[in-house]
Amino acid sequence: MDFEDHVEELASDLGVDKEEVTQDLQNLVEYSVPIDEAKQSLRRKYGDGSSGGGTPSAKDIGDVTPDSSNVTVTARVLTAGERSIRYQGSDHVIVEGRLADETGVIDYTAWEDFGLSPGDTITAGNAGVREWDGEPELNLGESTSLAFEEEALEVPYEVGGDATLAELQTGDRAVTIEVEVLECERRTIDGRDGETDILSGVFGDESGRLPFTNWDPAPEIEEGASVRIENAYVREFRGVPEVNVSEFSTVTALDHDVDVGSDAPTMGVGEAVATGGVYDVELVGNLIAVRDGSGLIQRCPECRRVVQKGQCRTHGDVDGIDDLRVKAILDDGTGTVTAVLDDELTKQVYGGDLEDALEEARDAMDQEAVADTIREKIVGREYRVRGHLSVDEYGANLDASSFDESDDDPTERAAAFLEAVDGDAGAGAGVETEVDA
Ligand SMILES: [Zn+2]
């Protein structure tokens, strides 16, 4: 259903003018209220008693699917974090987190202040179910009855949101992390209430690194500091998870240093691509091809994008600036990524600088000669590439920060890989036999 369809449906269900519904719905959606909750809210506003009729059935969390209608669940509150959203023109505080019972966990959003805290056991009657990214989530709203149970429900999940950076995923809420601030800069942005200062940079811990934004600059967050942050949430920004520290987060300076690993986690290509993006990762694979648009290229002086035949897609006819880069396809048998090498890394693999490249192209009377030389040097060899992996509809790109020929013994690595697979899956009897053989 697109936006127009939602408007049509609401306007006809509620008998309200379409223009009015469009206006209301747009307001809600613009401030990132999910479409289903926005529609429910409008149904309440215009007094439609027909939604969610009947008494919802009590359900185990493990049995709730995106297709479930309203449900009643008894659950332990694992996490509860406040966040501010703008809703019908004013700021509202919502609470987000995770609930669990013996059968599973589920994310929730509370649109009313029920006073939920981690560790509480609750029965939520008539909670709405919506789908987010293929998974069900609960909406606790005006029509939900909420009761606190005296006896704590035992659940096989940890109460609280402690996590390492490597564990964080887009959509996580109310997380607690202990990190070192590796990079930090203050910027002025045009916020929804005019100009405002924010901090952005990079956090690190032993497990990895992630970018962050601190929307309400905390004095404890400065380069080199080790801090504990409670109630942060994770959003996707430029294809990777980003830690968001808000006015509701608690930031405390730690009296000890958080150790930051110097190595990026090494992952299989398929596994890394499946995460949807990793800020800092190391991939090892065979370099199977150098793509078009590699070697000697020209960039638009305005926007730095690569120009083709003197044409920038945005700025039209331009005088391109010469530059060097490589886009190379790396394959480890589980998947492929395009490794993108900047001018510095390209100089290393080419074994020459921009002047050398221009001379080679002039001599050959073909700009492609430079790409061909690079192809000869790297295709068919195995490389260890570290960088920033982003995945979008056009594929997976690894913005390389280092690019080295792998000196691993391939058989040793294969054995280590199988061992890891064996350990993870716990069902690798067949694999083990192969290794032994
Ligand atoms: Zn341009």
pLDDT confidence of residue 435: 40
For the domain with range 165-253, which CATH number is right: 2.40.50.140, 3.50.50.60, 3.90.1520.10, 3.30.70.100? 2.40.50.140
pLDDT confidence of residue 92: 85
pLDDT confidence of residue 98: 94
pLDDT confidence of residue 302: 93
For residue 209, the number of C-alpha atoms closer than 13 Å in the C-beta half-sphere is: 19
> Tell me, what amino acid is at 373?
T
Fold category of 60-148 in CATH: OB fold (Dihydrolipoamide Acetyltransferase, E2P) (2.40.50)
Ligand 1 centroid from CA 314, angstroms? 5
Give the integer Cα–Cα distance in Å for 77 and 267: 33
Residue 386, number of CB atoms within 10 A of its CB: 21
Q: Residue ranges of the domains in the chain?
A: 3-45, 60-148, 165-253, 269-406
Give the integer Cα–Cα distance in Å for 77 and 140: 13
**Adjacent-strand bridge partners of 179:** 227
pLDDT confidence of residue 318: 94
Ligand 1 centroid from CA 301, angstroms? 7
Ligand 1 centroid from CA 299, angstroms? 8
Give the integer Cα–Cα distance in Å for 7 and 331: 46
Ligand 1 centroid from CA 437, angstroms? 57
Task: Say if CB 171 and CB 234 are below 8 A apart.
Answer: yes
Ligand 1 centroid from CA 367, angstroms? 21
pLDDT confidence of residue 88: 75
* Residues with pLDDT less than 70, the chain: 47-56, 408-437
Ligand 1 centroid from CA 91, angstroms? 38
Fold agreement (60-148, 165-253): yes
Ligand 1 centroid from CA 318, angstroms? 8
Ligand 1 centroid from CA 313, angstroms? 6
- In the structure, how many helices (H) and strands (E) does the chain have? 9, 21
CATH class of 269-406: mainly beta
pLDDT confidence of residue 432: 39
Ligand 1 centroid from CA 306, angstroms? 8
Give the integer Cα–Cα distance in Å for 84 and 107: 17
User: Which H or E run includes 45?
Assistant: helix 35-45
Ligand 1 centroid from CA 284, angstroms? 34
Give the integer Cα–Cα distance in Å for 10 and 25: 10
Ligand 1 centroid from CA 310, angstroms? 10
Ligand 1 centroid from CA 300, angstroms? 5
Taken in order 196, 204, 383, 346, the sign of the CA dihedral is positive
Ligand 1 centroid from CA 293, angstroms? 16
pLDDT confidence of residue 67: 85
